[in-house]
Amino acid sequence: MISSVTFHPFFSHFSPALFVAGLALLFLAHKKNDEKLKAAGAFNLSLGLLASVVADFSGMVSVDINLRTVVEVEGHQGYSFLFTILYGFSAGYAYTNTFSRTALGYYIAGLLVMCLCLFSGYQLVF
């Protein structure tokens, strides 16, 4: 359970939204061959990476492990840290080699881990 005074619920919504928006912009950039959309998608991923790091640290500070089992809390923390790492690689590849096979692998892996992270966070709240 999250303690009464926390910023984690505020910050935690930005990173998945910016990740999906960034990938959507990169998809449109690839489809329309537009450099401005590619830059906007990479910028969204950069902002989302920053939000993900802030959400990770605010979640570590705000957790009250006595109200939940260690497995529930550490499972969500593990998924969130893995999502942040994949987010970093996705943001890096968005700037350097945007549409390579490796970049697409990181984008897809990031989406899958994001879903796991969101589901485990949902289970902690409800």
Mean pLDDT rounded to a whole number for the chain? 90
C-alpha distance from residue 13 to each of 35, 87, 118, 122 (Å): 27, 14, 9, 12
* Nearest Cα residue to 89 out of 113, 68, 118, 66: 113
pLDDT greater than 60 at residue 67:
yes
How high is the pLDDT of residue 1?
47
**pLDDT tens digits along 8-64:** 888 899 999 999 999 999 999 999 999 999 999 999 999 999 999 999 998 888 776
Separation of alpha carbons 43 and 86, rounded Å: 16
pLDDT greater than 90 at residue 100:
yes
